[in-house]
Amino acid sequence: MALSVGAGIQADLKTFHAFGIYGAAVITTLTVQNTRGVHAVHPVAPDVVLAQLDAVDDDLPVAATKLGLVPTPALAEALAARLGRRPLPRLVVDPVLVAGSGDSLAEGGTAAALRALLPHALLVTPNLAEAAALTGRPVQDVAGMREAAQALVDLGATAALVKGGHLPDRPIDVLLAADGIHELDAARVPSGPTHGTGCTLSAAIAAALAGGEDLVAAVTRARRFVHRGLAAAPALGGGRRPLDHRVSSA
């Protein structure tokens, strides 16, 4: 998870609260950013990240886990080794590589290293560019999204949600779960450029899973929450709008 303005850990904790779930944070990255863009990225050392994770995991009854920004290959490798020793329940991996502004957040080689996390994931939630980076194939349309979802499951993830928010027409998401492929359609919200959508979606899925919902129901509820948050996005700052996390999570 990253510490940021309107995305990352701020979006995660707001989302958990909206779903009635107590959230605890492990910081992987400190970013210098605002709604206009990312100005600097400072990865936290892997041993410090693992110490934070152990502190939370040793003390609290973790019901579900969301993993966001992993900024370096070294941290991805350390997390994969730790998950091999001590798995985390209902792990949702949001493979963040680039901010909504287009600014890079992860070092070169991180996408390849992230593949080692997929066998530990209940769900992986890449956008089109992230799915392409993880699978090594172009992902530009719904057919490509279906192929990428299967490739991600073949790499070890239990399920995959390939997000189509950057498709030129309707923002269709493709979910490959145990019961097959789901193409999840929605009307595009005319909110303009936004900030923190992917973070909010993956956190909402983890929160719904923590509350006992099955995967398809959790994804459906999370997408509904994001749609409402986008529709109510406040005009804050001079760049991309953050979502409004005060909307209903029902």
Q: Which one is catalytic: 31, 35, 199, 239?
A: 199
Catalytic residue selected from 164, 194, 200, 229: 194
Contacts of 198 (CB under 8 A, 6+ apart): 94, 96, 100, 125, 127, 163
Q: Is 245:11 a contact under the CB 8 Å cutoff? A: yes
Which helix (H) or strand (E) is 167 found in, with range?
A: none
Cα(153)–Cα(160) distance, integer angstroms: 6
Question: Of the listed 28, 163, 200, 229, which one is catalytic?
Answer: 163
Residue of 14, 197, 200, 229 marked catalytic: 197
- The question of whether 194 is a catalytic residue gets the answer yes
* Annotated catalytic residue, options 23, 198, 229, 239: 198
Bridge partner list, 184: 173
Is 199 among the residues known to form the active site? yes
Contact 13, 1 (CB under 8 A): no
Contacts of 105 (CB under 8 A, 6+ apart): 2, 29, 31, 38, 41, 69, 71, 96, 97, 98, 99
Enumerate the active-site residues.
Answer: 163, 194, 196-199
